[in-house]
Amino acid sequence: MPPIRRIIVIGQGTASVAANGIAHLIDRALAGSRIVVGSCKASEMSGFLSEQSLEDMLLIAVSQSGTTTDTNRTVDVAGSRGAWVHAIVNRRNSPLVSKSDSHSYTSDGRDVEMAVASTKAFYSQVAAGKLIALLLASELKTMTDQEILHEMEDLERLPADIEWVLEQRSLIRECAEQYGPSSRNWAVVGNGPNKIAADEIRIKLSELCYKSIPCDFTEDKKHIDLSTEPLTIVVANDLPENIVQDTVKEVSIFKAHNGKPIVLCTRGEKRFAEYAEWLVELPVAGGGLGFVLATVAGHLWGFYAAKAIDAGCEKLRRVRGEMAAMLEDPETEGLQRLQPILHEIMEDFAAGRMNAALPASIVAALAMHMIRIEGNPGGQPQRQFLQQGVSILNAAVEEATRPIDSIRHQAKTVTVGISRPQEILPAVFVNALEELEVAPVEISEQDRRIISAVSPIISGINAGLLYRVVRIVGGTPVGLKGETPWIKLVTATGNSVGKASRYDSPKPAGGTKRTALRLERAVWSAGRGGAENLVVIPLFEEKKGECKAIVLFHLDFEPQATLQQKLSILKALGSRYHDFEERLQELSRPHELADFLESVSPRDLVLAPVDSLILSGAR
């Protein structure tokens, strides 16, 4: 396997924000190495992957459920191109686990978190990412043992730091209750690692409070939408000194434009006090984990803001109940007795206490209905009049209710996402598989991709053999995990029909057949004497993902191929391309790869040993 030259961390939703945090921690731990570290949305990565081999990539996939379609599809595509996939996942035995080469579990005993706004998932994913970062630093010697020890101590202190933030809940609650319900427009900003916290706070505020909330870099806010005069949560707790000064200036601009900046800052930092509506102070966390504490404060603020908005809806629910009772009981007293509480509701509207929840259309409709109530003479109101009031109040309650334990408009039973097209095998292989009664879907996507890349130089398939993996022979289990699998020939086609095989009865797999089963990928071979043209391909059960059989094809190769075809095939084969380049570079008078390939036949390009080709071409 080629050395890892790049590490990409992916996820969707909250997991994609955790992926950003993990990439930050890994990049920090591997500072000074030549490894490129990055993160992106899973759907973006799968949509824009190049066709080149990814054998030099470590792909870290982050997911709570392990069933997110976007993430799993990206893992399929990247894995098929040679990337090593490591999963950070909560749910054991989930599809993501089976698709990955290695994994880290984040569960504390409960596999499934049903709520969308799962805060435990984010914190545990970041903690797992920190451990991976320190493991890589230890292996690559980018940090000393003493430095790693200090950062482990920082990670171990994190729960206590989080508890300290939670103990500030009364102050955070007061801030949320004062500013959340009365602010129509909200925003979250941060820079550097704090942008990670800002992104995660934005997600939870949107989910808990049902608001569309922009999230910007702190410096960008003044260029975008200060005209909305928003309530802005500014994440500024983990910043270098020169950036703190810049951020203070940005907060002063927010304030000057009639905004309401709520600043999350380092404990003891007072420079924001002149301009901030409210300061939430946070402890200092080492190891690059400061953004986690800001996220805790933001999560807590969103929780209390949602509760405050929901509490403001109580009067609306009470009036709706009274009107509904009047519909059920014609003898109920008239609407006039509801006028005092309706006046209180309108006073709340006028004071802006429901700005965060109710649109102007509902406020206006309720005001018009109240005018009609006051204009209605005493006595029993008409049924249609009551029905109209209940309808308006239903809409108002629906808009202002914040059920924190479940998220509106989101179904967690099915996670939908992208659907990237799978690799389609060329006709010559599809026809050969049909003769063996094998479906192309039983071949892994990685092998389908390589077969498709090599197919332009395959002129035909003259024989095929299907071997089934045998689990029990004579009542005795065979081929247990860690042992050589047993196989039996079940079908032959083409030139292989009627020929005797050592696998006519079950036997342990040998040679390239064993290699294909062990590696669970296609093996291209020239046979024992080096004169055959073979490919051995493992087959998998679609649901379980277990290798159940192998097919062996005898191939016919085209006599010639273009240089571009040869280069494309080598790149699809991954390590073989690197082998050619590296062997050529070892020569005292190295050849250019393109010049060297001109004289290599299509058959030898795929099957001949690299060293023998290089030596024969170098003479």
E strand or H helix at 364? helix 360-375
Q: Do the Cβ atoms of 129 and 60 come closer than 8 Å?
A: yes
Give the Cβ contact number of residue 6 at 10 Å.
Answer: 15
- Encode pLDDT of 295-333 as tens digits: 999 999 999 999 999 888 888 888 888 888 777 775 555
Q: Which residue has the tokens 């007293």?
A: 333
Q: What pTM was computed for the model?
A: 0.71
Cα gap 560→563, rounded to integer Å: 10
Q: Do the Cβ atoms of 288 and 24 come closer than 8 Å?
A: yes
pLDDT class of 118 with cuts at 50, 70, 90: low
pLDDT class of 143 with cuts at 50, 70, 90: very high
**Residue 276 tokens, joined:** 């901030």
Give the Cβ contact number of residue 165 at 10 Å.
Answer: 22
More confident residue, 406 or 384: 384
pLDDT class of 163 with cuts at 50, 70, 90: very high
Q: What is the mean pLDDT of residues 220-240?
A: 84
Class of 314-400 in CATH: mainly alpha
Q: Do the Cβ atoms of 591 and 506 come closer than 8 Å?
A: no
pLDDT class of 366 with cuts at 50, 70, 90: confident
E strand or H helix at 199? helix 194-209
More confident residue, 522 or 382: 522
Residue ranges, comma separated, of all CATH 3.30.450 domains in the chain are 427-557
**Helices 145-166 + 119-140 axis angle, to 10:** 170
Residue-level pLDDT at 22: 97
Q: Do the Cβ atoms of 58 and 28 come closer than 8 Å?
A: no
CATH superfamily name and code, 6-143? Glucose-6-phosphate isomerase like protein; domain 1 (3.40.50.10490)
Residue-level pLDDT at 376: 61
B/e letters for 321-340, b = 16+ CB within 10 Å, e = fewer, are ebbbebeeeeebeebeebee
Q: Tell me: pLDDT of 394 over 90.
A: no
**Which range (19-28, 173-182, 417-426) has the least confidence?**
417-426
Residue-level pLDDT at 117: 47
User: 116, 67, 128: which is closest to 96 by C-alpha?
Assistant: 67
More confident residue, 77 or 545: 77
Class of 163-310 in CATH: alpha beta
Cα gap 116→204, rounded to integer Å: 9
More confident residue, 18 or 340: 18
> In this structure, are strands 458-470 and 486-494 parallel, antiparallel, or unpaired?
antiparallel
- Encode pLDDT of 466-523 as tens digits: 999 988 777 777 766 567 889 999 999 999 999 999 999 999 999 999 999 988 889 9
Residue-level pLDDT at 404: 67
Q: Calculate the alpha carbon distances from 14 to 21, 124, 412 in Å.
A: 11, 12, 14
Q: Tell me: pLDDT of 590 over 70.
A: no
As a whole-number percent, the residues of the chain with pLDDT over 90 amount to 46
* 427-557: CATH number: 3.30.450
Residue-level pLDDT at 113: 52
Q: What is the mean pLDDT of residues 80-99?
A: 87
Q: Tell me: pLDDT of 167 over 90.
A: yes
User: 195, 130, 137: which is closest to 159 by C-alpha?
Assistant: 130
Residue-level pLDDT at 193: 93
Residue-level pLDDT at 115: 47
Residue-level pLDDT at 619: 41
Helix (H, G, I), strand (E, B) or coil at 325: helix
pLDDT class of 32 with cuts at 50, 70, 90: confident
- Encode pLDDT of 237-295 as tens digits: 989 888 999 999 999 999 998 899 999 999 999 999 999 999 999 999 999 999 999 99
Q: What angle do CA 221, 224, 227 make, to 5 degrees?
A: 95
> In this structure, are strands 36-41 and 215-217 parallel, antiparallel, or unpaired?
unpaired
pLDDT class of 591 with cuts at 50, 70, 90: low
595 DSSP 8-state letter = H
103 DSSP 8-state letter = E
**Residue 106 tokens, joined:** 């984040």
pLDDT class of 156 with cuts at 50, 70, 90: very high
pLDDT class of 618 with cuts at 50, 70, 90: very low
Q: Do the Cβ atoms of 452 and 430 come closer than 8 Å?
A: no
Could you tell me where the beta strands, DSSP code E, fall in 14-122?
36-41, 57-63, 84-89, 102-105
Residue ranges, comma separated, of all CATH 3.40.50.10490 domains in the chain are 6-143, 163-310
**Residue 389 tokens, joined:** 């009031």
pLDDT class of 544 with cuts at 50, 70, 90: low
Residue-level pLDDT at 62: 94
Q: What is the mean pLDDT of residues 144-166?
A: 95
* Averaged pLDDT score across all residues of the chain: 85
> In this structure, are strands 534-540 and 547-557 parallel, antiparallel, or unpaired?
antiparallel
Q: Tell me: pLDDT of 172 over 90.
A: yes
Could you tell me where the beta strands, DSSP code E, fall in 137-213?
186-190
**Which range (183-197, 210-224, 298-312, 485-499) has the least confidence?**
210-224
**Which range (86-95, 122-131, 568-577, 602-611) has the least confidence?**
568-577
Q: Tell me: pLDDT of 408 over 60.
A: no
Residue-level pLDDT at 409: 43
**Which range (68-72, 488-492, 590-594) has the least confidence?**
590-594
Residue-level pLDDT at 61: 96
Q: Do the Cβ atoms of 49 and 76 come closer than 8 Å?
A: no
